[in-house]
Structure formats: C-alpha cells, structure tokens
Chain A
C-alpha cells in the first residue's frame, strides 16, 4: 500500500509497531507531491530537506522512547500560520518574502509533538475568498475534477490532504474557510469554538471570527489533531480557559436519543438538489440510528451575509493597516516620502479582493457611517447569536448542507464578488456566533464531486459534532480518496 494514503491514526499505529518509519512515510508524501503537484498546485513552500530531517529526528526520538502525539506524521500548514525560519506569505505579494522570527502557538504545539512539517499551502490572499483563486502564488485545483476549484480560503490544505500530499493540514476559518473546502474536496474539516484554539501567530483577518482548525482524511484524525492543538494560551487573551477533553473519547458513533435539528432556512431556493439529497440521506441515517429529528428555525439566516461582509472587512481594514512596509513585508523602495511609501507599497502589494475589503471596511467604520453599517451589523450579529441560543434549547446539533452547490469551475463569478459572497451563506453564521462547525463527507454528485454535511453545535460542544460525524462516516461510507486524472 502507498504510505501517503494512510490516515494519521493508521500511520501512528504502524510507526508505533515499527512496521514503518517516519522517513519512509515522509518520502512517500514527497514522491506523491512530485507525482501530482503539477496539477494540484497546493504548495506555496515545500521544505523537502527540513521535512526529511524532522522525519529522521522523529525516528530517533521514537527509538529513545520520546514519542510525541504526532511523532513522525507529515503535515502541511495553511500559509498564514507563522513558521519560524519558513516563508509565510498569506497568499499575498505584500508578504511574499516574509520569514517570521517565531512560530504560531499551534505550530509550536505540532513541532513539540514531533510532527513533520512538509511546507506551506495555498490560500486566498489574506484568507479573503471562497475559491483560493486570489492566491498570488498559484491556485490549487480540486483533486476530484480537473479545472474545478478546491474551495477556499483553506483550498491548499483541502487539496493537499485529499490528493495524498500530506496526512493532515491546519487551516483557518473566518466564514467557512475550513468547512467549505473540506466539503468540496471530500474530507473532514472542523472549525472549533472561538477561543478553543490559540490564534497567536495566525495572521489576523477578522479577529473576532478567525479560528484555527484541522482538515483531515477522517473524523478520528480530526479528533487527534484537536488533541494536539487545543487549549488556553497566555499569548492569546481571547483563548478560553476551559478543560481540554480527549477528543478521541467521543468517537463512539452512538447517536440514540440525540436531538438533531434541521434548520429550515438552510434548505431554501438556490440549494442544488443533489446537495439536498445527500444531506437528507444523512439526516435519515441519523434518524434510523435512533436520533430524534427536530425542525428548527434560525430566522435571521438571510441577514448573515450582509452582517459578515461589514464586520469582517471592518476588522480586516484595521488588521491590515500594519502592512505599511516599515517593520516587515514588502516595501516600495522608490518612494521618497513616508506617505508615498505607504501608498505605493499597499497599492502594489495587495490584490483586488483585499483592496475591496479594506475599502468597504474603512467605509463601514468611518465617522458618519459607523452607526448605519458597523454598529447595525453588530446588533444583527446579536440577533443571529440569539437564534442559535434558542435553537440549542431544542436540539443538540444542527445538521445542514455546507455549501449550496458542489465544487464549480475555476474562473466562474470572477467579476461578481457578491455572487461568491452569497455562496458562504450556510457557513458564516457559525463564525458570527462563535460556535463550532464541522464538515463531514456525505456523498457525491452525479458528476462524482464530493458533497459534505455540516454539523453545528453549542459553544465548546465539539464532542457532539465528533460523535455525530463519526456515526455519519461509518454509516454513509462516503469517505475515500480521489483518483487523480
């Protein structure tokens, strides 16, 4: 069997028994990358030598009995997680040569558990997008179908995991950026509760919405990755001091008596009938397995896109003010005044979508418009949060589609940003409410494109999501790797 196709859990077992070593496993991923990367284009930076060295170190550490949770497991990282000594571009020219002098907390955790970092993977510029097409360094392709998007913004993570280029990856989710590409590429993605995972060293997009999470081949791997990255961090004051459970302990697949909520507003016009069929089949399966299905209403769902596209750009415009060419990142060296330097650096460094969002954000925050835009959006955000609080009095988990359609062709909607924004309608609310959300493979379209099922739960109830996801994975048998053309 090809080692690159192993799950994290299987690889851990084989490493533990001595059947395989990390160097062979890592070489297998690198060979797979050589074989498919010209089509998949997931990697921005590939650290071949560093990965092999880390693999050999992991093998030595294991011999000495020093076995971390992820000892010798080859992973990739979305290119907005700071990696000491390794380029971190955020998919943007403005950070094209940025080499961070420190590791993000989650990267530090992976390394201290013995993980092998293969490299950094593609994403929409500053995570602003739903297709990864705004990446300045190559656009990842959906491993299931040539010429189709891998989704975004963590498109490189999803493509790399699905194509067998790494065993698992970390991404980030501000409005669906883990769940949506996971769904489009047929893998598992989890956006944890806001505050569950440290954001220190995650390049900020919208600080009240961003959260780091895993993209994996199956639900068990997702639980393992959560065990590795979760927890309070003194360097992120919004991370929450709650007990960190053993996420693997929830993988029992027993859903009897669980109340499964089906949000009416997520099954409206525009939903592809094939997506609807797959999600309904998932709900039917849970019902047959003994779960109680409850119809739920989240009445303010239709406003979430408008709220999000004010709050996220507002926060982004403030966060991205730091890219001024002074301390780090690109600088226009021709400018002879400070103002010209700021202006020329930012004009040349940022792409169109980032500029669009900075303009919307500064406008929404400007005096005279603040109440009408930013404040109004923050108030409607409260109403969306209350919808969920009401819903979770009546159910334990919400089951819905992740995206209105399966993956689409590259280049579609490229001059209609609003059309792309509207495709985020089913994932955005979880970020506004700070609740955990997950995408688990549910089935396939007639064209053979994967379709995910979304699970959402109350704050810090990743346990319920993992339990239901595990049951769906076992029951629907829709989890598999693509054959790459």
Chain B
C-alpha cells in the first residue's frame, strides 16, 4: 500500500503546475447562504431504537471498554 500511496501523492502534485495565488477555494459548488429553518420541535429517535444498533449497551447508555 505504501507504493500505491506514493504513486497517488506524486500524481496529485500535478496541481503545482497551476498558479492559484488569487483564487478563492470552493468547498461547496452551490453554496446555500444562511440555511435557516423554523425553530420547531420535532420528535427524535427513542432511546431504545438509538441503542438498538450498538454492539454493547445497558439499555440506557452505549458501553465501551473502561477509559479511566
């Protein structure tokens, strides 16, 4: 995989050919400015459904190996 990553990274260096000094970056091609919506309360997922996809939980919380 190291060799493949090297090939890909040397290929993308092609971008150095272009002078981009005064070009602003694009993060979204079609920018939506101030995407506001009404501040309405909608129901969210019930706890049991949210937990249902987890490999380990105790019915109220997700459980992970001990951290401290």
- CB–CB B25/A379 < 8 A: yes
Q: How far is the CB of A193 from chain B (nearest CB, A)?
A: 7
Q: Which residues of A contact B65 (CB under 8 A)?
A: 335-338, 340-341
Which residues of chain A from 450 to 485 have any CB-CB distance to chain B below 8 Å in the complex? 459
- When each residue 1-39 of chain B gets 1 if its CB lies under 8 Å from chain A and 0 otherwise, what string results? 100110111011011101010011111111010010100
Q: In chain B, what residue has the closest Cβ to A342? A: B64
A267 within 8 A of B: no
- The interface stretch among A13-21, A110-118, A197-205, A352-360 is A352-360
Question: Bound state CA distance, A433 and B7, in angstroms?
Answer: 26
The DSSP consensus for interface residues of chain B is loop
A269 within 8 A of B: no
Partner of A433, one of B9, B29, B49: B29
- When each residue 240-263 of chain A gets 1 if its CB lies under 8 Å from chain B and 0 otherwise, what string results? 100000000000000000000000
- When each residue 287-325 of chain A gets 1 if its CB lies under 8 Å from chain B and 0 otherwise, what string results? 000000000000010110111011000000000000001
Known: A101-B49, A327-B62. A240 touches B32 (CB 8 A): yes
B60 within 8 A of A: no
Known: A101-B45, A303-B15. A238 touches B26 (CB 8 A): no
Q: In chain A, what residue has the closest Cβ to B2? A: A359
A409 within 8 A of B: no
Q: How far is the CB of A84 from chain B (nearest CB, A)?
A: 10
How many chain A residues touch B (CB < 8 A): the figure is 62
Question: Bound state CA distance, A68 and B16, in angstroms?
Answer: 53
Q: How far is the CB of A245 from chain B (nearest CB, A)?
A: 17
- CB–CB A385/B5 < 8 A: no
Chain A residues proximal to chain B, CB less than 8 Å: 98-102, 193-195, 208, 234, 237-238, 240, 300, 302-303, 305-307, 309-310, 325-331, 333, 335-338, 340-341, 352, 355-356, 359-360, 363, 373, 375-383, 385, 415-418, 421, 432-435, 459
Chosen A-B contacts, 30 in total, with CB atoms closer than 8 Å, are A101-B53, A102-B45, A194-B28, A208-B27, A238-B28, A238-B32, A240-B32, A303-B15, A303-B18, A305-B11, A306-B14, A306-B15, A325-B55, A326-B54, A328-B54, A331-B56, A333-B55, A335-B65, A338-B66, A341-B65, A352-B1, A376-B15, A380-B15, A381-B26, A382-B25, A418-B4, A418-B7, A418-B8, A434-B28, A435-B29
Beyond A238-B35, A307-B15, A309-B11, 19 additional pairs, beta carbon < 8 A: A98-B53, A100-B53, A194-B28, A194-B29, A306-B12, A310-B12, A326-B54, A327-B54, A333-B56, A336-B65, A356-B4, A360-B9, A376-B20, A379-B24, A380-B18, A380-B23, A382-B24, A382-B26, A385-B26
Chain B residues proximal to chain A, CB less than 8 Å: 1, 4-5, 7-9, 11-12, 14-16, 18, 20, 23-30, 32, 35, 37, 45, 49-50, 52-56, 62, 64-67
